[in-house]
Structure 1
Amino acid sequence: MMIDRILNGKYKLIAKIGEGGMANVYKAISIPDGMYVAVKILKPEYSNDNEFIRRFKAEAKAAASLDHPNIVAIRDVGMEEDIHYIVMEYVEGITLKEYISRKGILLWSEAAEIAIQICSALQEAHDHGIVHRDIKPHNILYTEEKTAKVTDFGIARAASVATITMAGSTIGSVHYFSPEQARGGFTDEKSDIYSLGITLYEMVTGRVPFEGENLVSVALKHLQAEPMEPSKMFDSIPASMNDIIMKAIKKDPRLRYSSAGEMLSDLRRVIVEPRISFVKFIKPQDLGDTVRLDNIPAEGPQTGNGGAELLAKSKGNKRKNKKMKDSTMIWIIAVVCILIMLGGAGITLATILGTGKDRGESFTLSNYVGMSYQEVMDELDEKYQVTAKVIYKFDERYEDGKIIAQNPAAGKKIRMGGFTEVELTVSQGEQRVKIPQLSFADYRDGEARLTELGLVPVIYDEFNATVSPNMVTRTYPAANKSVKAGAQVILYRSRGAESRSIRVPNLIGKTLDEAKRELEKLKLKTGDILPSDGDKQYIEDQFPAAGEEAWENSKVNLYLKKLPQATPVPQIRTDSLVIELDEDEKYDENVDLKITILFPEVSVPLIYKEETVARSKFPLTTEVNFTNRAGTVVTVELDGKKVLQRVYN
């Protein structure tokens, strides 16, 4: 029992306030100064790992040198018997993950303010040579004063290099891993930038960009899949905010921000210039020699922050010296051990070693539409050594994870192990939106939030003695419920304490001024007046009707008698037409005459006159009468051939 225990005579544990994959967190009193502190105690399974403990102490002491308002300060590192602990400042607040869960989606401006604080903390740490390696909303505390504080600087680095027994704690982290961490490769400050980009993505969309059935499928997406851009989900996200996120989560570290300071500068600018497109992207062709990310060799058998080694693959390339072969085999064995520990996540030894097929051979693409994208990706990789690029799209016709379309199409032949990439469009199922918690918010902010989420707000009024007028009392469906994108959500707006009931007077036959005075006297309000150009001397109807009950200060709509409308008299235009026979044509004794009129608002001409006329009567003079409209066309035909046409303006 840890509660009430005093560590080294200095820290009395008074309550357990959290639990993570590697440690438990307690609220404690610092006996020397009487201040509250947070004490993080490593779990027993790590207390016996000497290498982990050595790294843990070294990294914690290094992190203790950081002094920044957005970093949880480390005050002490200690040990008593077999208990290893670090003492940190006590922060009153919740994790950023909890905050996102409560709000559903953050306004982009609020997300930018939070990201500025996190980025500032990372800049301070990177300037001191410290890389966090596990940036995620779970490791960021958020206070009522809207201050973000990054925690777990020491424990993240120690965990990333010490032991493979921590696989169970990677479940929350894998969604925020950088591609190089997912590969088990070299990580530096740019891995933190990627993870911050994923965190920022989640703040503005309410979801992480990559989901999957297991850790391996999520990590694969970090390597292969392209995320849907936030601005394509929500039009309200400015282009520059979208660009900041997309630059931060580039798969190639060289294409990301060069430093936390550079990203911080863009975040500060987007706050004041949201509508200006200013983010500068690095083009791959500007980097010189290009190396495909998934073919970059791993930097040895390091664990890459827990679970990252899940995706380190070798295609079975021949090694020219025994030392490299031995190193590769050690790495493969480590990967297989982890896969077994995770319960068979779906990568086999054949996947890791390669199939040995002739890479020059061609094969015919099958029709993958309707199939599970994970199965198809495994097939393409294992059987044909072909890379698949995944594009995600909401589509209610297909289940989540099913393929909607493919490129190249089924029946096309491509070369095994070649450079042709198969593009798979994968369904995310029906697009659904989680309703945010809006109680006690101004109803106008609630409307804006729902609209931003792609929902349709509908305002209903209700009396509520505990919620101030014009504030949201509740929603229907309730907060945190998931609804289809575009669904209606009722916002109940408080009208304050319930008012008294008033019998609505009979206003029919009164003038508009008389009705307004009577309503004001009874403490009722004049509502809509329809039509706006009606006869103000006579009210023809009302709602609510006379005799019905209405609440004090509620509105009564008035319907005025319509004024008679003057019927416009159309203007008739008359024109005299002289019709002559065409000298180049031969006519019989009788000629078919046809006169048509085409008005500008129709596409089919009106036949005005159609008759047979003796050839001897030509030239013929006749009159046409029609409603005078600009653009009217009169056409004369003799024996089916046009001989005269006039356009009137």
Structure 2
Amino acid sequence: MDKYTGKRLDGRYEIHELIGVGGMALVYRAYDTIDDRTVAIKILKDEFLGNEEFIRRFKNESKAIAVLSHPSIVKVYDVSFGDRIQYIVEEYIDGITLKDYLEQQKQIPWKEAIHFTVQILNALQHAHQKGIVHRDIKPQNIMLLQDGTIKVTDFGIARFAHSETRTMTDKAIGSVHYIAPEQARGDVVDGKTDIYSVGVMLYEMLTGQLPFEADNAVSVAIMQLQADPRPPREINPDIPEGLEEITLKAMQKNPAQRYQSATEMLEDIAEFRKNPSIRFQYQYFQDEKPTKYIDAINNVRGNTDPAYNDNYEYEEVADTAAKKKNVAPLVIAGVLAAFLIVAVALGFAALFRGCQAEQPAEDIEVPNFIGQKAAEIYENEEYKKNFVFKEEQKQDSSKEVGEVLDQSPAEGMKVKPGAEITLYVNVGNTMQEIPDLTNYTKEDAEKILQDRNLVPNSIEIVDETVSEGHVVRTDPAKGESVAEGSTVNLYISGGPEDNTIAVPAEIIGMQLEDARKALTNLGFVVDATPKDDTGKEKGVVVECSPLPGTKLEKNSKVTLVYSSGKVTSVPNKKLEVAIRMPNINRDVTLVAYIDGVKVQEKQGLNPSAVPGEFLSLTFENTGTHELRVMIDGELLARYTLFFDDGKFKQEEYHDLSDPESTGDNESTNITPEPPAPEQGT
């Protein structure tokens, strides 16, 4: 057990268990006795208490999150920066990291990746609006709850946008697989730095692998600066082209060519969600040659040379002088060439304007799209040049899925180039509207969905507002329409969070005061009672009530039974009693009773076969007791036993011999001589 588990911080936070270890802090699950809630507490590691840099970073995290208030960002409830311990009290997240989820799933569906990415971007949008750049966005810092909710955590190296920058030698650089090129170089960072990291995470979710991997961190950082990632669709062809474009735009090495804000990226994702067949055709300006534009996707797929010069000078030991020597002629030649090209272009432009007046673009006729496959229309270069397509869904079981059923504007109408054309595309199956199933039982909700030809998928979640076993919500949400055969997630209430605490088994065998302290720290009221003759050292806990493992509410009473160390009982003594056997030549059952309690039984005993006529029975006890010996239910003899003196006295004897052996069936009160006179008086 570590030094904090079982302790109470500042008389308020009861530490229950260690749940994580980070680079600079230990993370515990704890209970807030004042606000009556479970919390997570980050405690700065002891080795960093004297390190001003780590203390500054630790305080910086609390300051960063304190100004944020967003459902997708972990909340901070309290902070304490003392000399001996520094901690942050945060919202407790009962889930796993996105990294854990990716390792389990390897590659996740693109719709799920979009769902996670939108939540992360919403959180960053809020942080950026507050002037805070996270700087360490990675799956390890994204918590995933059971219902698919995302929480952004760990603002340990976050910066206010106007704060000083970091260099690559800084220990708090972030994670090399996810950092933006400017962050690796130590340049100024802003919200676009986080956008790059989101792009890398989206790439990893869609493909199941990182864009850049190498044997060491330095090699990965160089790849972040210089190399182009492999196009996601080459790894996973199921990724829509529009989503590939969004991913690669977020990962542009030049910050000016990335999304300029989380809001801008969210807008493109929203457009993609409306029409997954959309293509954005991003064009990026490249300034190595005059007025040259490059296509985002084609450049990554086709060119072998890097399309982006990051303007970062890399020194090489060899040929340094030669390179410096050749710089001036190259620059002069480039300037002259550029001047010549511009002059010729201006000359041709003037000549063209002199020969022909500028004409407006002519209207074009809308072709007939009905009956064609939507996917083929979207790939047609002529169509893409003249129109912008919008897709709506319709159902017609007699037509093929993906076939255009209708269009607007209609065939033959005249429109301007770039006009929007709405295509009504067949989705095949009948659409069903998701009903409001809130508070329905799991069984009833599943039946309703099945009656609509939908597939229910029940997921249990913690919920304090809806009764256990009833529906909290659905995904897709009520009112949305989905095709028959679609899966609908039913989130079923498992009831409120179980706040009961199990009585720990470890308290048995502990010293009383240690056990009392452990139970008190867990929130129990402790009572204690001593017990003699336990065979344990004084103060050792030997029992508890309720038993270990029993779950109890906070403030429940637990009674500890501990050893008093006293020995009050006298050790038992053995006493051997000789019993005269009757003349019976058959098997009988002999039973011995002490004070009316059966203590011995011998079945299948033949008295005539007992050597020397006396049967020896040994008993163990203390004090004086009565012994009765019965054969087949009849009294044979009665004795008084003096265990402390080691003696016995026969008080009564009945001869139970068979009649044919004795000629007499009467019982007699006789006192036969025992084999040794010292055994009785």
Structure 2 length normalisation: TM-score? 0.42
Structure 1 length normalisation: TM-score? 0.44
Q: Which has the larger radius of gyration?
A: 2
Q: Which has the higher contact order (CA 8 A, sep 6+)?
A: 1
